[in-house]
C-alpha cells in the first residue's frame, strides 16, 4: 500500500482562509464552550449558519441541496472547525455519515426530503448501531423490525448512542431476519415516533450526550427503510469505512495543543520543546494521511484499509497527546476550572480512552487490516 503525496491546491487553501475568517467573527475565542473534536457542543444556530455558508453536506449532490464539492474541500472545513473546538455536535453525524449514506442508498423521495435539510443544518442524526449485547460483534444485534401491513414494527434497545436525546433522527440498523449478516436492514427513524424512549447515560466526564434508546412497538413506514431489505450490513460497513480516515481521528485535542504551544516560550525546558515539536511533526504527518485518503475518495477509490490504518494509528496518537500535555501541566487539571483549556484537558483525560473504542476499536481495526494485508500478500 502506498499513499500518493498530495497537498492542498490554491483554491483549497483559499477555502481554508475563508473558514478561518468566518470562525474568527462567528466564534470569537471565549464566546463558546470548547469541544473535543467531533464531540463538540450542540449549537443548532451555529450548524444552521454553517449550512448557510455551504459548509454542511458539502459532498452531497447539488440536485438535492448538497454542495457538490469534494471530500478534500470537506476535510479543509472540518479541520478548521475541529481545530477551533467548534460546536459541531448538532450536525456532525448527519454531515459525515447519514447524509452520504442516504445519498448513496436512499430513494429519490428520501433524498429529496433529507439531504436539503441535512445540508441546511435543520436535521440532526444519531447512529443506532450498538446494543447491550452487540458491540464489536455488531452482526449479533437483536433489535427486530417485523414487517406489518403498515410498515415495520420495531422492538428492542440501542445503546451508546451519542446525541440521541437531541437528534431529530436515527440511522439505525435492525434485524429483519435471522440470517446473521443478510438479515440486517437500515432504517431512518424519526425520534419523535410513539414508543421511542431515550434516556441519557451519564458519561465519564459528567456530560449527558450518551444515550440508550428503547423501541417498544414502534411503527416505522416502509418509506423510511434505507436500501434493500437485508442490505444493511454492507451499507453499514461502507458507512463505517467512510468515517474512519478523517481528520477527527487525530485532531480532538487541537484547542489544548494550540493553547499549550502558545503558552510556552522558546526558553522552556528542552524536553517540553521536544515534545511540542514531536506533536507538531505528527500532526503534519496525520494531516497528510487524511488528505491522501480524501484525495483517493475524490478519485473514485475506496481506501477502506488505508482509512482503518489511519484511524488505528491516529487515535493512539490523540491519546498520547493527552499524556504529553498533562506531563507538562504540573498538576491535575480541574474539570470545572474557569480556564476553558484546563477544563478541556481534564475532559480529555477522562474521555480519551473512548477515542480508540468509538467507530471500531483498535483491536477490531487491527483484525480488519490484517485480514486485508494477508489477502494482498
Site mask, another protein, residues 312-331, x = CB under 8 A? xx------------------
Whole-number minimum distance, CB 79 to another protein, in Å?
6
Q: Which residue from 220, 114, 89, 236 is spatially nearest to 165, judged by alpha carbons?
A: 89
Cα–Cα distance, 61 to 56 (Å, whole number):
12
From 144, 153, 282, 328, residue interacting with another protein (rule: CB under 8 A): 282
Nearer to another protein, 146 or 373 (CB): 373
Half-sphere exposure of 376 (CA within 13 A, CB side): 9
Using CB atoms within 10 Å of the CB of residue 71, give its burial: 0 to 12 exposed, 13 to 18 middle, 19+ buried.
buried
Site mask, another protein, residues 222-251, x = CB under 8 A? -----------------------------x
CB-based contact 72:294 (threshold 8 Å): yes
From 25, 202, 266, 300, residue interacting with another protein (rule: CB under 8 A): 266
> Is 344 among the residues that bind another protein (CB under 8 A)?
no
Half-sphere exposure of 123 (CA within 13 A, CB side): 26
CB-based contact 48:87 (threshold 8 Å): no
Whole-number minimum distance, CB 16 to another protein, in Å?
8
Question: Could you tell me which stretch among 42-50, 156-164, 233-241, 263-271 binds another protein (CB under 8 A)?
Answer: 263-271
From 86, 226, 242, 283, residue interacting with another protein (rule: CB under 8 A): 283
Whole-number minimum distance, CB 261 to another protein, in Å?
4
From 18, 166, 190, 272, residue interacting with another protein (rule: CB under 8 A): 272
Q: How many CB atoms lie within 10 A of CB 17?
A: 11
Nearer to another protein, 24 or 201 (CB): 24
CB contact burial 268-279 (16+ within 10 A = b; e otherwise): eeeeeeebbeeb
Cα–Cα distance, 38 to 260 (Å, whole number):
20
Nearer to another protein, 264 or 340 (CB): 264
CB contact burial 159-191 (16+ within 10 A = b; e otherwise): bbbbbbbbbbbbbbbbbbeeeeebbbbbbbbeb
> Is 363 among the residues that bind another protein (CB under 8 A)?
yes
CB-based contact 120:65 (threshold 8 Å): yes
Question: Could you tell me which stretch among 3-11, 33-41, 324-332, 352-360 binds another protein (CB under 8 A)?
Answer: 3-11
Question: Could you tell me which stretch among 53-61, 150-158, 171-179, 270-278 binds another protein (CB under 8 A)?
Answer: 270-278
Query: DSSP assignment, residue 331?
Result: S
Could you tell me the end-to-end alpha-carbon distance of the chain, in angstroms, rounded to an integer? 11
Whole-number minimum distance, CB 249 to another protein, in Å?
13
Whole-number minimum distance, CB 284 to another protein, in Å?
4
Residues that bind another protein (CB under 8 A): 1-5, 7-8, 13, 16, 79, 83, 251, 254, 257-258, 261-266, 268, 270, 272-289, 292, 306, 309, 312-313, 363, 366-367, 369-370, 373-374, 377
Amino acid at each position: 500500500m502506498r499513499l500518493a503525496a498530495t497537498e492542498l491546491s490554491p483554491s483549497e487553501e483559499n477555502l481554508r482562509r475563508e473558514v478561518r475568517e468566518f470562525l474568527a467573527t462567528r466564534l470569537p475565542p471565549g464566546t463558546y464552550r470548547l469541544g473535543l473534536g467531533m464531540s463538540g457542543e450542540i449549537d443548532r444556530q451555529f450548524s444552521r449558519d454553517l449550512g448557510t455558508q455551504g459548509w454542511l453536506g458539502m459532498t452531497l449532490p447539488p440536485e438535492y441541496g448538497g454542495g457538490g464539492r469534494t471530500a478534500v474541500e470537506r476535510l479543509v472545513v472540518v479541520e478548521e472547525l475541529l481545530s477551533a473546538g467548534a460546536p459541531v455536535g448538532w450536525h456532525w453525524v448527519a454531515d459525515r455519515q447519514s447524509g452520504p449514506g442516504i445519498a448513496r442508498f436512499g430513494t429519490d423521495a428520501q433524498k429529496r426530503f433529507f439531504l436539503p435539510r441535512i445540508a441546511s443544518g435543520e436535521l440532526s442524526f444519531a447512529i443506532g448501531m450498538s446494543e447491550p449485547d452487540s458491540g464489536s460483534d455488531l452482526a449479533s444485534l437483536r433489535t427486530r423490525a417485523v414487517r406489518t401491513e403498515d410498515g415495520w414494527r420495531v422492538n428492542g434497545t440501542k445503546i451508546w448512542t451519542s446525541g440521541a436525546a437531541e437528534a431529530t433522527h436515527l440511522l439505525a440498523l435492525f434485524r429483519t431476519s435471522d440470517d446473521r449478516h443478510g438479515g440486517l436492514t437500515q432504517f431512518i427513524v424519526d425520534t419523535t415516533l410513539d414508543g421511542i424512549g431515550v434516556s441519557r447515560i451519564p458519561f465519564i466526564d459528567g456530560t449527558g450526550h450518551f444515550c440508550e434508546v428503547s423501541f417498544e412497538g414502534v411503527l416505522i413506514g416502509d418509506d423510511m427503510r434505507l436500501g434493500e431489505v437485508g442490505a444493511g450490513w454492507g451499507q453499514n460497513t461502507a458507512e463505517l469505512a467512510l468515517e474512519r480516515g478523517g481528520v477527527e481521528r487525530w485532531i480532538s485535542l487541537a484547542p489544548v495543543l494550540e493553547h499549550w504551544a502558545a503558552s510556552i516560550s522558546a526558553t522552556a525546558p528542552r524536553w517540553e520543546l521536544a515534545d511540542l515539536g514531536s506533536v507538531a511533526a505528527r500532526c503534519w504527518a496525520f494531516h497528510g494521511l487524511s488528505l491522501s485518503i480524501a484525495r483517493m475518495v475524490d478519485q473514485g477509490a475506496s481506501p477502506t484499509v488505508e482509512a482503518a490504518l489511519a484511524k488505528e494509528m491516529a487515535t493512539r496518537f490523540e491519546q498520547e497527546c493527552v499524556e504529553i500535555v498533562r506531563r507538562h501541566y504540573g498538576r491535575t487539571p480541574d474539570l470545572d476550572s474557569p480556564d476553558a483549556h484546563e477544563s478541556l484537558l481534564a475532559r480529555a483525560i477522562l474521555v480519551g480512552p473512548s477515542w480508540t473504542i468509538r467507530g471500531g476499536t483498535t483491536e477490531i481495526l487491527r483484525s480488519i487490516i490484517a485480514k486485508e494485508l494477508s489477502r494482498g500478500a
